[in-house]
Structure 1
Amino acid sequence: MLIYVYLFIIILVMFLLVRFKRFNLLFSVIFTLIIIYFLLNPKVSIQSAKSGLVIFINSVFPTLFPFLVVCNMLIFYDGIVVYSKILGPFLCTPLRLSNQCSLALTISILCGYPLGAKYSTKLYEDGFIQEEEYTRLLNIASNTGPLFIIGSVATSMFGNTYWGYLMLFANYISCFIMSLIISPSKSKSINIGNSKDTTYNFGSALKNSLEDATKTCINVAGFVIIFSVIISVLKNNYVFNSFILFLSSLLKVNTEILNSLFLGMTEITNGCYLLSTTKINIVMKLSLASFLCSFSGASIIAQVHSFTYKHSCFSMGKYFYRKLLQGIISFIITYFICTINLDTLSVFNNAMATSKIFIIPFMILLILSLFIYTLRTLFDRS
């Protein structure tokens, strides 16, 4: 009973600090408590930081760094113009975006968080898109990568590759629905013209690409490590665990579900792993995992903010609520499909399906584009 009194006092103090806009004091108190925790539990803190570094080196860096270098080189040699002309009509039409957004969409589809935000910001800073479209693109070109959903979550954690395709489908359809919910830009798209005749010096382009990729990777490594520490603090914190128990008894919800959701909304990898170990039915597991993948979590949102903080047109509040809405939509889609018939997911042979991971998103958008074009043709009265 005493712990509930402490929890009430802590929540009340935080509420009052927020209510009277004493944010500096609030964060000072929070960070002071974290420092005290580090001093009292140095072994846990060091171990969690090492764990975050190992995750980055083994899983994130090998795919992120070369991809960043190649994408930067692509931009140096007019990749934005090329992609807008070739892929723009297919990728951007169903999403009500200008063709210039095709590069950011492609990168988001192939690699996932947070590169969609990075290259959306690059398009805006280079003048290819305007403010309204930039803020809209950030929510649309913001997806979980297919390798993470199909490989890490479905295959490694849930033990079934087919379920990954369901979550991937829900992720992209929820993104498409968000493009319908968020009003398109009223400003005219910028004509980017033809490819430039000038060619950059290859050595100079490679040097700049490497520098930019290295800087981005260091930033991402910092986020992965610090959020690994935060997750460790929460997992081993008596107050947090007591709060989860209190909520569980109040809402009559399984403690494992609440724990997975709270930790997953902080960092999705941990949340999805905890969901895979919970003793709940597979339909709810997949639906909650789909929610976490579409929502992305505080770690990814912080990484997105690291690219967008310089631009006043970007609202972190709007981005957060839109990602939350996208997560809910993804949850509903996954739950609906699973409720109809979960067995229908096993359509393709595992080896065949795995070899076509990257084709699926483009096929979905191509079908949507053709569908919308057909509708416009049928109902065009001009």
Structure 2
Amino acid sequence: MKRAFSFLPFILFFCLLLFFPRQSLLGAKTGLMLWFFTLLPSMLPFLILSSLFVHLEVLEKLFGRGASFWRRAFGLSPQGTYALFMGIFCGYPMGAKVTADLYRGQRITRQEADYLLTFSCHPGPSFLSAYLCVEILGREDVTGWTYLVIYLSSFLCSLMFRPSRRRQSVPETPAVSAPFRENLKKETSASLSLGEALDASILNAFLSITKLGGYMILFSVLQSFLKTWLPAVPCIRYPVLGLMEITTGLSALSQSRLPFSLLYILTVSFTSFGGLCVAAQTKSMLADTDLSLIPYLKGKLCCLTITLALTFFLVEVVKVIV
């Protein structure tokens, strides 16, 4: 009986696709266009290069010299710092993807992977500047403040989770599924040539980007249904849309008649959280490991709270954003 109920949401979603084809088609087109014109060209090269770095074991050379600084500043190893930087510069869900790759390859421990998931997943700088500030808010002048709020919130979030990580001093061996364990044996038995590593990296990158596209299309369809049926009450409609899927949710917010001060607080906060679609994408990046999504969700809720406080302070207290 419990298993039957677990399939109920999928059956309901299937019925919606059948009986509401117009909304389904519109949502699918929106999601596909976002994936093809935005996510694919912006993330695929980084996915390939990131996987190549992991395969060729060059992370120690890139970040090894500043190991003591990374440990003091972020509580991370050089390898973990690489995951953090990729999450910052490449955007959702690159931080989780690199964290999972490093964990599968036994470059970081389970404790460090869980810790990274709490604060290494961010919106990318290009998304913040071009999409959020220019296209959604129409205010290029708030880009610097937006960077400050988003990344300061993430750093403060890391400070809140860092003490619990320090208490876990005993390293653990990463647990991966049988297929990845076999691949790991093959890779460690003999060093991969550059060509072999590049081939493996391209396949890995296309698998990941295809997963992300599938989730984006499904959530865009769901977003299309919600936009049609949600009541035109701002306190209900916009939080639901913003927390469901970040891109289309921000677009819906931009079409509202909310004052700019409230619009800025809501859009930046929803961007910091990432939405349920990004959470599902993050979960897919953790496949074939024993890593849980719980640390990510805890970190995102913490980051959302801090972002709300910081944006409210900037807008309503010091009034540097008007």
User: One fold, TM greater than 0.5?
Assistant: yes
Count the aligned residue pairs.
Answer: 303
For 2:278 and 2:140, the matched residues in 1 are separated by 24
Equivalent AA in structure 2 for residue 306 of structure 1: S
Instruction: Identify the residue that residue 266 of structure 1 maps to in structure 2.
Output: 244
Instruction: Identify the residue that residue 24 of structure 1 maps to in structure 2.
Output: 3
Equivalent AA in structure 2 for residue 212 of structure 1: N
Instruction: Check conservation: 1:290, 1:327, Cα contact below 8 A.
Output: no
Q: Deviations over 1:26-71 (max 9, x none)?
A: 3433222222222212232123212211111111101111111122
Do the aligned partners of residues 319 and 66 (structure 1) sit closer, same or farther apart at CA in structure 2, a change above 3 Å counting? closer
Instruction: Check conservation: 1:154, 1:164, Cα contact below 8 A.
Output: yes
Structure 1: runs of 5 or more not aligned: 1-21, 191-195, 246-254, 346-382
Do the aligned partners of residues 132 and 35 (structure 1) sit closer, same or farther apart at CA in structure 2, a change above 3 Å counting? same
Instruction: Identify the residue that residue 72 of structure 1 maps to in structure 2.
Output: 51
**Which SS does the other structure have where 1:151 is aligned?**
helix
Instruction: Check conservation: 2:96, 2:121, Cα contact below 8 A.
Output: yes
**Which of 303, 313, 316 in structure 2 is aligned with 1:336?**
313
Does residue 187 of structure 1 match 2:187? no
**Which SS does the other structure have where 1:215 is aligned?**
helix
Does residue 320 of structure 1 match 2:312? no
What is the deviation of 1:309?
Answer: 4.1
Instruction: Check conservation: 1:267, 1:298, Cα contact below 8 A.
Output: yes
Do the aligned partners of residues 317 and 108 (structure 1) sit closer, same or farther apart at CA in structure 2, a change above 3 Å counting? closer
Structure 2: runs of 5 or more not aligned: 173-187
Instruction: Give percent identity, aligned residues only.
Output: 26
What is the deviation of 1:92?
Answer: 4.7
Instruction: Identify the residue that residue 220 of structure 2 maps to in structure 1.
Output: 228
Question: Bigger shift: 31-40 or 133-142?
Answer: 31-40
For 1:87 and 1:224, the matched residues in 2 are separated by 37
TM-score, normalised to structure 2, is 0.86
**Which SS does the other structure have where 1:220 is aligned?**
helix
Q: Deviations over 1:325-369 (max 9, x none)?
A: 211111111111222444479xxxxxxxxxxxxxxxxxxxxxxxx
**Which of 108, 115, 120 in structure 1 is aligned with 2:87?**
108
What is the deviation of 1:152?
Answer: 0.5
Do the aligned partners of residues 87 and 287 (structure 1) sit closer, same or farther apart at CA in structure 2, a change above 3 Å counting? farther
Where do 1:156-171 residues align within 5 Å? 156-171=135-150
Does residue 310 of structure 1 match 2:288? yes
**Which SS does the other structure have where 1:140 is aligned?**
coil
Larger Rg: 1
Instruction: Check conservation: 2:60, 2:78, Cα contact below 8 A.
Output: no
Where do 1:364-375 residues align within 5 Å? none
Structure with larger RCO (C-alpha < 8 A, sep 6+): 2
Where do 1:141-180 residues align within 5 Å? 141-180=120-159
Instruction: Check conservation: 2:95, 2:122, Cα contact below 8 A.
Output: yes
Equivalent AA in structure 1 for residue 293 of structure 2: M
**Which of 42, 51, 55 in structure 1 is aligned with 2:21?**
42
For 2:146 and 2:2, the matched residues in 1 are separated by 37
Do the aligned partners of residues 265 and 24 (structure 1) sit closer, same or farther apart at CA in structure 2, a change above 3 Å counting? farther
What is the deviation of 1:297?
Answer: 0.8
